[in-house]
A and B are shown apart, each in its own frame.
Chain A
Amino acid sequence: MSLLKDIRIKNFRGFESLELQDLKQVNLIVGQNNTGKSTVLEAMFLLVGMSNPNLIPTINGFRGIGRIGETEFKYLFHKLDFEKSPTINANLMDTSYRQLEIIPIYKKVSDSSQSFGNLNGEHSGISTSSAFQSVTGLDLKFSSKKKHSIRKSGISSIKIQKGEVQFNPSKDYKEGLHGALISSQGKEEGALPRVSELIKKKREHILVDALRKIDPGIQSIHALPEGIFLTVEGIDELIPSNISGDGLRRFLNIIATITEKQNSIILIDEIENGLHFLSLQKLWETIISMAVEFNNQIVATSHNIETIKYFANAVQSYKEGVLMNNAKLINIAHTKAKGIQHYDYSIESINNSLVNEIEIR
């Protein structure tokens, strides 16, 4: 199984260092605001697609950062320090290992007002005085190693040249892992191509069965150029999913993403966004059964107690608890003595904590 087992994150955004061990097939990351839950998902996303430089603006875009430039590159670096390169590495459940290092590309500038004219004099990974240098791009230095195989490595980059953004993916590397990150923003624009793909494969019944759990009147789903439409019992015309509410669209996007491809790593930020708490149980039940069916790994974030409760309930009730040892909750917290720490909870421990009214978020 090419799913994440352990991950180590260094010098990436708010994390100086974080290691998560013994990840399960279904994982819920909880924590207070600004503890780095979304950052963990971003790190996983970058590592899964480590040769793809487009992921850099994608993750910044999820945070509402649209521009691409030195300032925006800096947001990836811990304490905005270009001298400490972010490094993300992981062991996978199939015993393979992969690593990504993000290295700034410097260009000497004699005049601070001059920028991004040409890339003469650029070099990677060496920084002397940033007062005379500008960062014009990032190298993504990656490697992967499977047991009994030779190490594969490469460098992709994102550069700004003459005001234009250039994405230079490594030509020699073909990514074997598949992953998706569903942001907390709730725009769900990724749903249409995924639903279209499922309809092409004649697997729309999976989506319809799932959607019926929150609206039993839904009869069929259609992907048209204008968007996703639903046939609803008692209504003669197709109904655009856009007017069906944020919750249904998010539900649809999550399910379509999980069912799009097998052996994938699905990252869902603030999973409960837009969903009524009564839909949460159905969402978790659906996610868990789909994740098992498609052999996908789920890593979701939340700070909602109802989400935790329904997550534990759904794992416990799935096929008489067969997933109990393959699901966990990870609480990430700022601590006074040790900085950012994580505390792991089994499903049994979640239940005990809820019964004893112990705060685990």
Chain B
Amino acid sequence: MAGSIKIFVEGEADEKFISDYISYLYEIDISEDVIKLGGWEGIKDGGMINQFKKNTDNLGTNLIIIDADSDVEERRLTIRSIIDKNEITASLFLLPNNAEEGDLETLLERIINGHNSQIFDCWEKYEYCLSEINIEGRVKPLTIPAKKSKIYSYIEALVDDSNAQKKLIKDPNRNYKNTEHWNLESDSLSDLHGFFDSVFN
């Protein structure tokens, strides 16, 4: 009797995206089995290690999907060393594509519906503008908003201003299966798709 597939992710944004993508690919609801680490370093917590071991003891499969951030190989080595040290079994995928540096937002940027790409053109102009302007009396340059803000603003631009629609902008309420906003058939998802196929097919 096969066990569950548990997917360990960094936070609620990842939780919703991964749940929606798996639902899209295989028509299954895995949301109960997506476990938030509370940041990738949460993987070191003894309670989290127990979750891996318990799932393995129940013949389950563990997947870790976290951000590569600025150094893919360093992150891979760090996670592998935690896996080995704690004698747990898990397969690792580093966002955006298990090869490049980046994070969930890097991937999300690449999978927007192409019809909406002008929104990002505006955002890039906004970023450029912020980098160029000098505010009198200010020493430090202005901070360029994080990529999370870019994704947030992208969705905000596409929904209307009703409270119900505004709620859909937040991480846990997003609908990545909404084809007006996202393209889950994007080539940028092919590596993640292949990773999932190896366990869900």
**Residues of chain B within 8 A of A350, CB atoms compared:** 47
Q: Which chain B residue shows the least CB distance to A331?
A: B50
Partner of B47, one of A335, A336, A337, A345: A345
User: How many residues on A have C-beta within 8 angstroms of the other chain's C-beta atoms?
Assistant: 21
Query: What's the Cα separation between A179 and B47 when bound, in Å?
Result: 30
Q: Which chain B residue shows the least CB distance to A359?
A: B51
Q: Is B3 touching A336 in the complex (CB atoms < 8 A)?
A: yes
A341 at the binding interface (Cβ < 8 Å)? yes
Given A356-B42, A358-B47, residue A341 in contact with residue B36 (CB < 8 A)? no
Query: What's the Cα separation between A341 and B55 when bound, in Å?
Result: 12
Q: Is A335 touching B57 in the complex (CB atoms < 8 A)?
A: yes
Given A331-B50, A343-B54, A346-B46, residue A357 in contact with residue B59 (CB < 8 A)? no
Q: Is B42 touching A345 in the complex (CB atoms < 8 A)?
A: no
Q: Is A337 touching B56 in the complex (CB atoms < 8 A)?
A: yes
Of the listed residues A344, A357, A358, the one surrounded by the most CB atoms of chain B closer than 10 A to its CB is: A358
User: How many residues on B have C-beta within 8 angstroms of the other chain's C-beta atoms?
Assistant: 19
**Residues of chain A within 8 A of B58, CB atoms compared:** 335-337
C-beta contact mask, A327-358 vs B, less than 8 Å → 1, else 0?
00001010111100101111011101101111
Query: What's the Cα separation between A341 and B50 when bound, in Å?
Result: 11
Query: What's the Cα separation between A361 and B47 when bound, in Å?
Result: 12
**Residues of chain B within 8 A of A343, CB atoms compared:** 50, 53-54
Q: Is A345 touching B57 in the complex (CB atoms < 8 A)?
A: no
Given A356-B35, A356-B36, residue A341 in contact with residue B47 (CB < 8 A)? no
A158 at the binding interface (Cβ < 8 Å)? no
Partner of A352, one of B45, B54, B56, B57: B45
8 A Cβ contacts from B117-169 to A: none
Partner of A355, one of B35, B38, B46: B38
**Residues of chain B within 8 A of A337, CB atoms compared:** 56-59
